[in-house]
Every structure is written in structure tokens, then in C-alpha cells.
Amino acid sequence: MANDSPITPDIAAAYCLCKRKAFLLLRGEECEASHQYVLLMEAQAAASLKTFIDSSERAGLSIQHCNGAEPTGKADVLAQVSLRADDLHATADAMVSLEKPVGKGQPTYEPHLAIGSHSIAKADKIRLAFLGHVLGIGHRRRSHTGVIINAAGDAQRIKLAKLVAYLGPVIDTLKGWKAAPATAPPPILLNDHCPICPFKKKCLEQAEKDDSLTLLDRMTPKVMRKYHKKGIFTITQLSYLFKPRRQRKKRKDRPAGFNLELQALALRTGKIYLHQ
């Protein structure tokens, strides 16, 4: 049976951080409570949105608070607007009416996204592009740009064309997963995002159970693929590949490089090895 859950900006942004996270979110897997850092970012994003709305009001713009409903009026600024197009659902923090409409027809709105950090990450741009995409296809109010408001209240205008082009195949993959929920989740590839991911505990437990190579420090997806091609899937298997080699005279002054096979051997035997 197909999955009914909507595709949201958070799922599309998760896809660019970790495909497995996007898959688990889409499937509605039970997850841990949000990490403190994520809660802090959300609180700061809410504060910067409020500052933006207040300053727009002071500047004499008309504001309509939609509170998660679809846009109805024609105010200059629509806050917390729900946007829908088929199975794509999003809530725009704010949409600001463009002075010059793009092309003919009704005035269009520029999506605004408030974030809790000072710097803009790729995932933030993807979330903004998602809003622009849904606005374009679901509400026929395509905007070529969007705005990200950071924790300091600074607004940065972002061109959406390239981001929306990147988003297209991502949405197609997510729709494919929705249509075939029995698909196996993407493999676990532990990464920098894991410490604040709500699936951290599950992934770590599964990786330990599988004795997965991803548990090794400095293991990358590319190197993992290389070992998989050789039929090496576990840390135990990898540990048997380590062979101490004599260094050539010429290379003796060079420091020894990091060795994944030695790391695997140390884990299997529980010993400390001095490489040089």
C-alpha cells in the first residue's frame, strides 16, 4: 500500500544531509525527542521571524496571520502560510508581495524562510527552494527568488532556479519511496549530522549489530564502496586485511598515514598498536 504521508521541506532538506534520514522521516518511523541544539535553532528561528513581521508592520505593510492555513487575502505579508501541491505540503514562514509581479496575472509572493543560525546551510536553501517550487506549481505564483532571514535578522535574497532544478530529482525519488513503501531503507552512512539526528540511537545500534564499516573513524562512503566491491562488509573482515609493511628508506622520514585496516584490527583485538 502506498504511503499517505506528505513530502515536506524538512524531508527534502534531510535528503541532502542523509538519504536514510529522509527515508525514515517519510515512512513516519518513530524517532527520538529533538536534540537540544535543534530546539534552540527552532526557538531562534521563531524569534527572527517575529522580528521580521514586527519590522514589516512598522514599515506600514499589511500583515495577515494565516496560522498554518492556505492564503486567502491579499495582504502585503502573509505569515505562516500553508502551501500544497499534490502530495507536497509546506508552511512558509512568510510570503511577501512583490511590487512588480512576475509576468502577467495576479501579483506574486516571494517566499521567506527564517532560520536560527547566522550562516545559511545548503539544507536551508533546499527548504526555501521547496517553498518556491510548491508556490509555483500549486498556487501558480512562481517567484524566481526567495529570502532567508538569519538569527541576526539579516535577509539574504537567493535565486531559486538552480536549487529547484536540484530539487526535482530529489522529489522524484521521494515520490518513488512513497509509492513503494516496502523498499529497503538506504544503508547507514554515519556522518557529521548524526549527533543531532532523531534516528541516531537506532542507526548506531543497527551499525553495531551489523559490525558495519561505517563505525570506523574517517570511513567515507567512497572507501566503503571500495571495500564492498572486494567483499569486505564488516570491521572483523577488514581487520584481517592489515599487513605490517617495511617502509622504504626514501619514505622513512614521511609520517605514516591513517590506516583503516589497523583501526579495525585494534577494535577486534582490543589492543593499542603503534604504527610508527
- The residues binding ligand SF4 (CB under 6 A) are 18, 20-21, 24, 188-191, 193-194, 197, 199-200, 203
Integer Cα distance of 52 and 149 in angstroms: 8
Integer Cα distance of 260 and 266 in angstroms: 10
Integer Cα distance of 38 and 262 in angstroms: 36
The neighbour count for residue 13, using CB atoms within 10 Å, is 24
Nearer to ligand SF4, 21 or 178 (CB): 21
List Cα–Cα distances, 15 to 77, 122, 238, 244, in angstroms.
30, 11, 29, 40
Nearer to ligand SF4, 142 or 193 (CB): 193
Nearer to ligand SF4, 197 or 264 (CB): 197
CB of 169 to ligand SF4, least distance (A): 19
Tell me the residue ranges of DSSP E strands in the chain. 63-65, 77-85, 88-97, 109-114, 145-149, 155-159
CB of 81 to ligand SF4, least distance (A): 29
Nearer to ligand SF4, 29 or 70 (CB): 29
CB of 96 to ligand SF4, least distance (A): 33
CB of 22 to ligand SF4, least distance (A): 8
